[in-house]
Structure 1
Amino acid sequence: MSVTLREWQKEYLKTAIEHLRKDKTLLLQSPTGSGKTLFALNTALSVGGTIIYLTRTHNEFNSVKREADRLGLKIAFIFGKASVCPFAQGNEDPEEIDCKSCKLNGKVKDMGNLSPSQIIAEAKKASDYCPYQSLKAKIGNANIIASSYLYFFLPNLRRSMLKEIEDKNIVVIIDEAHNLLFSDEWFKRRIGKKTLKNALEELEIVRKESRISGDKAKEYLTILYDFMTKLDEGSGCKQLPLFPQPSKEALDQLVKAMKTYVNLIKGPIKRSSLRSIVNFFSEEGDVYNCNGSLVIIPNKTWDKINSALNVANYRILMSGTLPELGINGYRINVNVKMGKAEWYYCNNLTSKAKMRSSEAPKYAEVLERIYKLSGSNVLVFFPNYEFKNLVKENVKTVPVLEENKRGVTHEEILELMRNGKYLVLLVMRAKESEGVEFRFENKNLFDSMVLAGLPYPDITDSIVTNRIKRVAKLTKRSEEEVAHELTLITIKQTIGRAFRDPNDYVKIYLCDSRYKEYFSDLGLNEKEIKLFV
C-alpha cells in the first residue's frame, strides 16, 4: 500500500535508518500527532525482523493498528491474561490464571481483524475458545506485535512472548518512552491488612486439609498484621527502615502452604493472598508504608530495563517529550507545529496540596464559566483523582462526564462526547491522558482544554522523592531539575491531546498560579496569554 509521508518524515527517514543500523538505538522526539508511529515503523522495517511495539496502555494499540493496516502489515496483540480471560475479573496477576486448569485450554480461534476494544469485548464472551491463546497463536506470523510495557519488561512475561516469535531479529519500539522514568512503578508489590486476613484464613484451610502445621507462618502473619494496624493510613508513602520480617522457617511454611492452597482451588483462577505475601518477600528492595499498606520497590529496576532492551537487536525510543534517560543512541529532535492554541492563564487559583479543599469550589466555578463560554465539550485534566473528586463535588450547573480508575471505556467516552456537551473530567498520567485521541472524523470533539492544577511531583511521598534521586543520579542532574522536567513532561503530554492535525484550534486554560514558571518551557510569552479571572 502506498503511504504519503509528511515533509519531516521524508527529511529524517534516511538518517534514522542509517543510524539505527549503525548505532542500534534511535532516540526520537517529535510532537504528539506528528506521525511518530508511522515514522518508527518505516524505520524499523528497514532492518527487517519482527517489530515489538510497546505502549503504556491498551488504548494506544489503536494507532499502531491503524498504521500497520496502512502499511499492509500483519499485526498481533498481546493482552494480559486478566484482560481477555472470560473467567477473570480483570485485576488478577498473570500467575493467578492457570491455563492448564481451564476447560478452554488449547482451544484456539481466529479472532479476525478486530480492533483492540473489540478483542476485549469478544474475549469476555468467549465460551468455546481461549482468547489469550488465540491471540498468542498469531504472534508467529505477525510483522508487528503490539504489547504493553509490562509484557516486555517483566522477565517471565517476556520469555513467554519471545518463544512464540520465529524471526529472532527483533526491533523494539517504545512509544511514550518518557514513561521509563516511572518504571519503578511497574515492578512494585503491595500487601495490605486485608491480604493478611485472607492469608490467615487460607492457612487455616491448608492446616485442615493437609498435614502442614504452619505454626510459624501463622505466628508471623499475626505479628505482621498487628504491626500494620499501627501504621499511619493517611500520609501517602513513607519509607520504612524497620518492619517485621519472616524467619526462614516461617517463610518456608508460607511457601508450602501457598502451593497447597493453590492446588486445592478448582478452575483456572487461582487467587491466593498467601501467594501475594510470598511474592512480596521474594523481592529485595525499599519498603514503604503507603496509607497503611506495605509496598516494596525492588532494587536495580533500571538494570531490569536495560536487560530487557538488550534482548532486542535494534531499539527505537520515542516520545513527544523525550527526556535524558541515560541510554546511548542517535537522537533526532523534530520541530513541527501541530495546530494553534489560544492561551489563557488562571492566576488566582492553586492546586497546592494543603489548599485543595478551599480551592475546589473556586475551580468548580471557573470550570462552569469555561463550559458556558465553549461551543463544544471541555476536557479538564487534574493532577490526581482525589483533587478531581473534590472539584466535581462542587460542580452543580453543568453536565459532567468523568474518568474513573475502573470506569467507562475510551470508546464510551467518545460516544457520549459525540452526542452531547460535557465537562469531561480526566486525570493527568492516567489512561486517558496519553496516546489517545478525542476525535471523530479527524476533528476534535472539544474546543477547550483546562489543566486544572499543576502536576508537580508530590515531594512528601518517599517513593516519588527516591525516584527523583534515582533519575538525578542516572542523568547527572540536580533533583530540582528532574522535578521540573517531570512536571513539564506531564504538562506537554496533556496538552498534546489537543493537537493531532495542523488545522486543530483549541483554547488552553492553565489554571494554577504556578504555571507562570513554565511559560518559557512551553514557548510562550506573557503577551500572548490572556488572564482568565
Structure 2
Amino acid sequence: MDAIYDTIENRYKVGLFESPTGTGKTLSVICSTMTWLRNYKRDHVFDIGADPDESSDDEPEWVKSAYRSSIVDKSKEKLKEFETHLDLVEKSHGGKMRAESAGKQKVKRRQIQQEDANFLPDDYHDTDSGSIEAQNVKLNREIESLMNHQVNQAKEYSCKTKIFFSSRTHSQLNQFSSQLRLTSFDASFDDMSERTKYLPIGSRKQLCINEKVSKRGDHSINDACIDLQKTKDGCSYLTKDQSLVNEFSDLSLSRIRDIEDLAILGTELHACPYYSVRQGLDSAEIVSLPYQLLFQKSSREAWGLDIKDAIVIIDEAHNVVDSITSLYAVKITISQLNKVIQSLKVYLSKFAKRLNSGNRINITKLTKICKVLAKFMELEQPSPGAEVKPEDIFENSTGDLVNIHKLDEYLTKSKIAYKIESYMEKTETEFSTTTPVLFEIAKFLRALTNPGKEGKFYWDKTGDEFELRYMLLDPSVIFNEIVTQARCVLLCGGTMEPMSDFSEFLIPQVARDQIKKFSCQHIIPESNLEVYTVDKWGNDSEFDFSFQKREDVSQIDRLGQFILQICQVVPHGIVVFFSSYNFLYKVVHQWQKTSTFQKISTLKTIFQEPTSSSHVDSVLSEYSNAINTSKRGAILFSVVGGKLSEGINFSDNLSRAVLMVGLPYPNAFSGEIVAKRAFIEAQVVEKGGTPQKAKECSNEYYENLCMRAINQSIGRCIRHANDYALIYLVDKRYKQPRIQNKLSQWVKNRLVFEGNIIGSSAKFFSNK
C-alpha cells in the first residue's frame, strides 16, 4: 500500500507492481488510491473550488484567508448536500419497492413484424445533411443534452480527479466491486461521513436491457441499438423523463453496485443503463471499465471519459500488450471473402430496386474490393510473416481506383454490414454465418486506409488456409496517449515478470526515473512452497524439451517414470503443463504404447485438457469430483496458454503439485512472431544499434513471452495464505541463472537445490 501511495504522491508517471494472488492485491490498490484521493481532495480543496477571477494577489492576507475559508466551507457544504441527497434517494427507492412495482407494471409494446424494409439502409448521399450519419449525430447530441441537463442543485457536486480501474474480464471487474464493498474511508472534510462514489461502466453487451438489441452479437449490437432508436417507437428504455435519468444516476452512486446491479436497476426504473449511467460520471470518484473502453480513444471520447490528471489502474497488466494488439488486429481469409462476395450478390439482387443509387454504387464498390483481395490472395504463395504492402494488393487491378476512404466512410455511416448480416441471418442461406464476416472485412478495409508505421500487414497460416493479417506492432503508441494525460498509471498483476518488456515495448517514451517498480513476496509461510528444477532423471540423461529434441522417445519415457514417482508421494491433485496440444498428444500416445499410462492411471485418475472451450467446465468438474471423492486423487494434463492455464484457480487439493514440462516458447515460425521480431530488430537498427544487438533484443522478447506464460501457469497453484504446493520445473534449461531470474520473485526465492527430489517431496507432505 505504501509503495502505491508514494508512487502517486511523488508523481511517478508509471508504477509496476507485482503482488501474487492471495496477498490482498485488489484491496491494497483500492485502499492506497482512495486514501490518496481523499487526502488530495482535502488538501487541494481551494485549488479545486476557487475562481481565479475572484481573488487577487493585491488583497490583504486576511481577505485572502477569509476567501479560502469560504471556498472550503462552500465545497464542504456542497458535498454534504450531495451525500444527504443520495441518502434520501436510496431510502426513497427502498420504500417504494420499485422492484415489485416494476414486476407488476405492464408495458404495452407493439409487436413489429420484421419486414424486409428493416434490412434496408437509409438512402445514402455523400453530403446529405439528412443522411443516417447526420441523424445519428443529432440523436447523440440530444442524448448528450438529456444526460448532461442538471435539474437539482444537489447534483452540482463533481469530482474532478478520479480513479479509473480497468481489467480484462467481466468477472475481474465484478471482483473489484465486491472488494470495494468491504472498504470505507475518511471523508474529504472533517466532521462528516462520505460514501465511496463508484460507477462500473461497460459495453452495450453488458448494460443493454432491451432484449431485441442485447441478443445481437458483439459486432452488431451497437448498430442494432442506433437502428432501434430511429424507429417510430424507438427504444422504450431510452426515456426522455429527466427525473428518471436523475434517479438512476443517483441510485447508481448511492451504494456500491456492480454491472449486473445497474442492469437490474435499469429494469426496475425502466431506464437504459447504458446511457443513464453517464450522468453520474462527473460525480464519481472511482470508475471501473473493461480494457476495450480504456485502450480505444474513440470509446473514451464516446463515453466522455476525461483521464487528465487521473489515477489509472490496470489490473492483470501482464495482458496489456496482447490486449492492445488484439483490439487493433484483424485477419481475412479467401473463404471469408468468397462468403462476403456471395452475400453481397444475394443482397443486391434482392434489394437492388429498393436501394438508392448511393447505396447501389457503394455495395458494388465493396464487392469489387473483395474480389480484388480474393484474387490477390489466390495468386500469392506467401510464407508466414512475409510483409504485405497495401499498394501490392491493388497492383495489376483497377481496385486502386476505388476510394477506400470513401468506402470506409460509407460502411461506417450506413451500417450496411449490420443490415446485410441481419438479412443473411434471417434468411439462413448457405452464405449466412455465425461469425460477423462482413464486420471483419470492414475492419480490414479500415486498416488499409490508415496503416501507420506502427502497424503491418503480413501473411500467416492456420491449418491449410492462408490469412492476410494486420497487426499493431507498437502498442506503446496507443498506451502513451493514456500515460501522457494521466497523473499516474499503475500496472498491477500477480505475475508481472519479466518486467523489462513493459519498459521496452509498452512505455519506452517514459523516462526510467519516472517508473516505480515493486514486487511483493507471497504471504504463505516459507514452508508452504518448494520449487525444484528437474534437469535429469533415470539414467542421468538430461531433460531437454527444446523443439528439436522434445519428441525423443527415451526422454518421454523418462518423463513418465518421473511423473509415476511424483504420483506416489503427492496427495490429491497434480497439474502437468505441456508446451502445446500437439506435444501433449504425442506424449500420451507414447505412454499408451508402453505401460506408463496405465501405471499412472492406477495411482491417479487421469484427465486431459479439452481443445473445445465448451468442454472445459465438465472436465474441471469431473477432475474436482475425483479429487474430493477418492483418496488417490487425480492428475490433469494441461497446455500452457490453453483453456486452463489462465483465469482458472487450482487452489488447495486441486493442485498440490504443478509440473512444467519444458519451456513453452511460442511457434517461432508463426506469422505474428516473425513480423514482431522483424519489427523489433528494425527499430533497434533505426536507433543506431548493431544487427547483433537487434537480434539480441528480438531473442529477449521471444524468451520473455515464454517466461511470462510459465509464471502465469504455475501461479495457478497458490491462491491464499494457507495454501501449499510443490512446483517442478522439468528441463535442464531451468538451471540457467538467466531463466531463473525471469521467474516471479516469490517462485525464484523458493528454489530448492536438492538432489533427492522424491525424498524431499515426501517429507514436505508428511509435515502437512
User: Could you tell me which amino acid in structure 1 is paired with residue 402 of structure 2?
Assistant: E
In proportion to residue count, which structure has more helix?
Answer: 2
Work out the CA distance in 1 between the residues paired with 2:298 and 2:713.
33
Distance 1:423 1:139, change over 3 A: farther
Q: Which has the higher mean CA deviation after the structures are superposed, 270-279 or 81-90?
A: 81-90
Quick one: which of 575, 584, 593 aligns to 1:379?
A: 575
* 1:102-143 alpha-carbon deviations (Å, 9 max, x no partner): 457537988997777x789999x99x8867557767756654
Residue correspondence of structure 1 range 156-175 to structure 2 within 5 A: 156-163=298-305, 170-175=310-315
Q: Once the 2 structures are TM-superposed, how far is the Cα of residue 305 of structure 1 from its aligned partner?
A: 0.9
Q: Distance in 1 between matches of 2:645 and 2:236?
A: 36
Residue type matched to 2:577 in 1?
Answer: F
Question: One-letter code of the match for 2:488?
Answer: Y
The answer to whether residue 377 in structure 2 is matched with residue 228 in structure 1 is: yes
1:65 matched to which residue of 2?
177
Q: TM-score, normalised by structure 1?
A: 0.76
Equivalent residue for 1:341?
530
Q: 1:493 to 1:256 in 2, by over 3 A?
A: closer
Inter-partner Cα distance in structure 1 for 2:740 and 2:421: 59
Measured in 2, the distance between the counterparts of 1:240 and 1:176 equals: 33
| Aligned equivalent of 1:467, options 661, 664, 676 | 676
Inter-partner Cα distance in structure 2 for 1:133 and 1:416: 43
Partners of 2:489 and 2:318 in 1: CA distance: 15
- In the alignment, the residues of structure 2 paired with residue 96 and residue 358 of structure 1 have an alpha-carbon distance, to the nearest angstrom, of 52
Cα deviation, residue 506, structure 1: 0.9
CA distance in 2, matches of 1:236, 1:254: 28
Are the structure 2 counterparts of residues 75 and 451 from structure 1 closer, same or farther at C-alpha, using a change threshold of 3 Å? farther
| Whole-angstrom CA distance in 1 between matches of 2:561 and 2:216 | 37
Partner in structure 1 of residue 625 of structure 2:
419
2:16 matched to 1:28?
A: yes
Pick one of 181, 199, 206 that aligns with 2:348.
206
What is the alpha-carbon root mean square deviation over aligned residues?
A: 4.6
The 8 Å contact of residues 76 and 139 in structure 1, kept in 2 or not, is answered as yes
Match runs of 1:391-406 below 5 Å:
397=601, 398-400=605-607, 402=609, 406=613
Q: How many pairs were matched up? A: 510
Name the structure 2 match of 1:106: 238
Q: Partners in 2 of 1:377 and 1:228 — Cα distance? A: 49
What corresponds to 1:500 in structure 2?
719
Paired residues for 1:64-83 under 5 Å: 64-72=176-184, 73=196, 75-82=198-205
Pairs within 5 Å for 1:422-433: 422-429=634-641, 432-433=644-645
* Match in the other structure for 2:459: 289
Bigger relative CO (Cα 8 Å, ≥ 6 apart): 1
Q: Residues of 2 paired with 1:408 and 1:76: CA distance?
A: 35
Amino acid at match of 2:15: L
CA gap of 1:253–1:380, structure 2 versus 1, over 3 A, is same
Name 1:39's counterpart in structure 2: 28
Please name the residue that 1:6 is paired with.
Answer: none
User: Aligned equivalents of 2:180 and 2:299: distance in 1?
Assistant: 24
Structure 1 residue 530 displacement after superposition: 5.5
Aligned mates of 2:650, 2:570 — CA distance in 1 = 16
User: In the TM superposition, what is the alpha-carbon distance from 1:95 to its structure 2 partner?
Assistant: 7.1
Change (3 A) 1:169 1:56: same
**Change in 2 beyond 3 A, CA 1:306/1:521:** closer
Residue of structure 2 in register with 1:190 after alignment: 331
Mapped partners of 1:262, 1:379: distance in 2: 45
1:486 to 705, 725, 731: 705
Q: Is the 8 A contact 1:82 1:97 kept in 2?
A: no
More displaced, 396-405 or 469-478? 469-478
From the two aligned structures, give the one with the greater strand fraction.
1
Cross-structure match for 1:452 = 661
1:261 counterpart letter in structure 2: I
1:152 to 294, 297, 300: 294
Amino-acid identity (%): 18
Equivalent residue number for residue 275 of structure 1: 442
Identify which of 508, 514, 518 aligns with 2:733.
514
Counterpart amino acid of residue 754 in structure 2? E
User: Are 2:496 and 1:321 aligned?
Assistant: yes
Q: Describe the shift of the 1:470–1:287 C-alpha distance in structure 2 as closer, same or farther (beyond 3 A).
A: closer
Q: Kindly indicate whether the alpha-carbon contact (under 8 Å) linking 1:191 and 1:280 is maintained by their aligned counterparts in 2.
A: no
CA deviations 1:320-372 (Å, max 9, x no partner) are 42513133424243452444124252645555445666679756786677556
**SS where residue 485 of structure 2 aligns?**
coil
Q: Which residue of 1 aligns with 2:430?
A: none
How many angstroms apart in 2 are the aligned matches of 1:74 and 1:424?
44
Matching residue's letter, 1:17: Y
1:218 to 360, 367, 371: 367
Structure 1: stretches of 5+ with no match in the other structure: 1-8
1:25 Cα deviation after fit: 2.4
Amino acid in the other structure paired with 2:167: T
